[in-house]
Structure formats: C-alpha cells, structure tokens
Amino acid sequence: MYVLSISSVSEVLMDFTLDFYFRQFWTDPRLAFKKRTGVETLSVGSEFIKNIWVPDTFFVNEKQSYFHIATTSNEFIRIHHSGSITRSIRLTITASCPMNLQYFPMDRQLCHIEIESFGYTMRDIRYKWNAGLQSVGISNEVELPQFRVLGHRQRHSTIHLSTVGYTMRDIRYKWNEGPNSVGVSNEVSLPQFKVLGHRQRAMEISLTTGNYSRLACEIQFVRSMGYYLIQIYIPSGLIVIISWVSFWLNRNATPARVALGVTTVLTMTTLMSSTNAALPKISYVKSIDVYLGTCFVMVFASLLEYATVGYMAKRIQMRKNRFQKIAESMKTARENPGPPGVPGDHGDHAPKQTWSRVVQEVRFKVHDPKAHSKGGTLENTINGRADEEAAPAPQHLIHPGKDINKLYGMTPSDIDKYSRIVFPVCFVCFNLMYWIIYLHISDVVADDLVLLEEAK
C-alpha cells in the first residue's frame, strides 16, 4: 500500500480522503505453470480477473471510493510460475475518521484504513502485511493545509461478522512486506495538516459466524497552527487590546467609550460564531473555545468598567448637587437671621437654631476648586470669598468625614488608572498559562501517538 496523496481531512464530516496504490499477494496452486527460459511471470489485464479467484477484499470504514480508469483501468495482475499472484490497483477512498477535538486547534488525529474480507472468515483467508512495518509507504510530498502527517502503522486483526463467506479458516490476510508493506508518497500534502507517519496492524475480529482477518493502516496527522494564528488568535488578541483604549479616554466621552466597547464585544461574538460554524456541533469545550471565551470576557469587562465609572461619577455628582443645595440654604440662613418684626430676635438665638437645623446634615468635606486656597471645605465654601464680617458657622456642628469626590474610597479616575494596569497584566498571564498548558498537552498527546515498531 503506497499513499500518493491525501486530499482532505474534514472535522465536520469526520473523514479523510486518500489516493493510493493497493497491492494484494496470494497463492493459487491451480495457476502454477512450468518455468521456461525468460518466462517466469505473466502480466495480464484487469479483464482476466473474472476468470480467476480473487479475495473479496473491502475497506471496513469506507464511506465512498472509486477506481481510476484514465486512460485505461489502473489495474494489473501478475502471475508467477509458482502460482503466486500479485494484484495492483489504484484507488481513491473517503474513510471515516472519528476525531477528538478537545485540544483543537493544537490537536493530533489518528486516522485508519481497515482492510478485510467481506465473506471469507479466517478459516478461509488470513490477511497480513507482506513487508511488515514497511508495507505502508507515504510520499514525502504529502501536504495538508491544516495537518502534518506524523506517521503511520499497520495492524493485523481478526473479526467475527454476522454474515456468510470466508472466515480465517479459508483466507488469512497479512502485510506481505512487514513494516514496508505501506508507503506514502513524498508528494502528499495538505494545507492544514502534516503527516507525521503511519503504521500497520493485523487484527482478528470475532463475530457470530467465525473469526475474520483484518488489516489496518493508521496514519497520524498533526494540525498546522499557522492558519488559526493568523485568522483567529492574533485578531482576537488585538480586539482585546483595542478595548483597552477606552481606559485612556476621558470618562465624559460617553459616545466614544460606549461605541468602542460595544463594537469590540460584537466583533468577538462574530469571530466566535464564524469559528464554530466551521466545526461540528460537539458537546465538550475545545482549547480554542477557552481562548475566545476569555477574550470575550475581557472585552465585556472593559465595557462594564466604563459602566462602573459612569455610575460612580453620577453618584458623586448627585452628592455634590445635594451639598450645593445645603450650602445655598446655609448661606440664605446667614443672610436672613430671622423673620423681621419678631421681638427679641437680634440674630443670636434664631441663627443658632437655623445653623443647627441645616448643618447637622453635613458630614463630608466639599472640595471646591475655587476655594482650594482656603482648604476647600464646606465651611470655607459657605463663608464666601470675602465675607469677613459674617460670623463663622459653629465649628462643633461640622464633622469632617469622607471626601465627597470619592465613592467607596475611590474616584472614577482611579478605576481607569487601575484598569490600565490590571487588564493587560491579566491578559498576559492568561496567555502564558494557556500556551504553556496546551502546548504541553499537545506534546503529551504526541507521545501517546508515537509510532513504535513493537506497537504494530
């Protein structure tokens, strides 16, 4: 078996397509002939097949296949004088390949081709790799757009099927040349994969009607990361970085900051949707989902950060307005000590009562930029800039407290300043952990798929 090309590996359909030469060897004593000078073998065309016995070989995990007939049927039969027969044919097969996409796109996949007799059990026919580990070959030019071929291996197996025909008592398949029974052309290439290698196996499958011989060739692929780095990882990282621009914008620039936050969130949503649209609907989390999900959380948190800043600024402004009204009331009370015409009211007791009623509500310092030179307290703001003749407010009624420009001990500007540091640090730490962990896991998976000769 020699693989010429691997045209596609589909995660959505869970299959792969390859073009290869398939050669079978068996012995039929009835076709032995007397050796003559210069005539040791006879080569005949495919039309001669209906006149001799041939094994009913088929591919167990095949979805669809076809023979090549340009310019003529790509098949021949060679009969040796001893009765041994060689049949070579060119095939293109699409075979199923169950994939585990948990570590996508840093995954490695193991796809296989299983060869078996359709009717003969192991009493009749037994398959084996003729050249051992060399029975399967892969061209060095095999390329895939998303994968690299890591390797291949062959297996022998025996099966039991609920059907009539030849069991292992009749036919036994084997890889004729052992490890050299399968070869892969050097020209095999895929845009997303690389072929790491292959291996052969022989199995014996037990079913109700007997034991059946099966050959298996496993081809290992590793996905190429270039496409996903350019199309997904780098753009999503840049979108997260763009969302941080809002931390440097003025908090009063509401249209700019909201538009930037909403745009980055929608862009991440579109990127996540388009990425998953090209993949099968699987129930477990992929590694790319972890990265895109974290990026989405980062840009959404940037939008929430501005919502928090806006809320705090609004609360602080409402507090300032409330104290401004209190200040105006206190100033009015000082200018109008009491109702005119009230006997005994000389501005002594009534002002004290008015001050007590108004000032008891004051518990915070008001930092007025205009009164900064006087300390910026509520007392200085109310006393006025040049009100020297007015009596000062009773000092025991004003209780210094929290800064009115702060809410929960922070100003809106403080949140922006902290975010400029916290968000980048968190994203860098996440990237370090993500790539270290998943690249390490990918290497562990590769170790599990190492093609050891003794594992055939």
Is the pLDDT confidence value at 148 over 60?
A: yes
The per-residue pLDDT for 254 is 82
Q: Which domains does the chain have, with CATH numbers?
A: 2-143+192-223 (2.70.170.10), 228-318+410-443 (1.20.58.390)
Rounded Cα gap, residues 25 and 39, in angstroms = 19
Task: Return the H-helix or E-strand segment holding 41.
Answer: strand 41-44
* 432 strand-pairing partners: none
Is the pLDDT confidence value at 97 over 60?
A: yes
To the question of pTM greater than 0.75 for the whole model, the response is no
Rounded Cα gap, residues 381 and 403, in angstroms = 15
Query: Highest-confidence range of 135-139, 157-161, 336-340, 420-424, by mean pLDDT?
Result: 420-424
What's the mean pLDDT in 143-149? Answer: 67
**Could you tell me if 439 and 108 are in contact, meaning their C-beta atoms sit under 8 angstroms apart?**
no
Residues with Cβ within 8 Å of 337's Cβ and at least 6 positions away in sequence, in order, are 345, 347, 350, 351, 354
DSSP-assigned states of every residue in 410-454:
B-HHHHHHHHHHHHHHHHHHHHHHHHHHHHHHHHHHHHHT---GG
Distances (CA, A) of 351 to 253, 286, 391: 45, 74, 10
Is the pLDDT confidence value at 318 over 90?
A: no
Is the pLDDT confidence value at 373 over 50?
A: no
Query: Highest-confidence range of 151-160, 286-295, 304-313, by mean pLDDT?
Result: 286-295
The per-residue pLDDT for 34 is 84
What single-letter DSSP state applies at residue 405?
T
The per-residue pLDDT for 411 is 73
Is the pLDDT confidence value at 441 over 80?
A: no
The per-residue pLDDT for 390 is 43
Query: Highest-confidence range of 21-25, 337-341, 432-436, 439-443, by mean pLDDT?
Result: 432-436
Q: What is the mean pLDDT of the chain?
A: 75
